[in-house]
């Protein structure tokens, strides 16, 4: 189940089946692109997708660091 911090949906899902929470990527991508300069938006849009394309959690964590470093101070809060 995907819910953007909707507590009622998450509570219902926990009662119905054991599931983990996952954020929807569309609003997060919009946030990333809103912070990017217009000339860099195409390149910036491709960066977070490299995180989601990884096959293992360790690889995704490694790419998250690379993307965070590449975006610098103009990165969203979910890329510490």
For the chain, what are the domain ranges? 24-80
Q: Which pLDDT belongs to residue 46?
A: 85
Q: Which pLDDT belongs to residue 18?
A: 65
Can you give the pTM of this predicted structure?
Answer: 0.51
**Residue 35 and residue 29: Cα distance in Å, rounded?**
10
Q: Which pLDDT belongs to residue 6?
A: 74
- Phi, psi (deg, nearest 5) at residue 37: -65, 150
pLDDT in tens, the chain (80 residues): 566 667 787 778 777 776 565 667 788 788 778 877 888 888 888 887 888 888 888 998 888 888 878 777 766 666 66
Q: How many CB atoms lie within 10 A of CB 80?
A: 8
């Amino acid at each position: 189940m995907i819910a953007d911090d909707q507590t009622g949906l998450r509570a219902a899902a926990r009662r119905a089946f054991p599931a983990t929470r996952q954020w929807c990527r569309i609003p997060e991508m919009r946030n990333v692109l809103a912070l990017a300069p217009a000339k860099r938006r195409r390149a910036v849009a491709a960066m977070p997708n490299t995180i989601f394309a990884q096959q293992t959690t360790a690889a995704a964590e490694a790419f998250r660091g690379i993307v965070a470093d590449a975006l610098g101070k103009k990165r969203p809060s979910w890329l510490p």
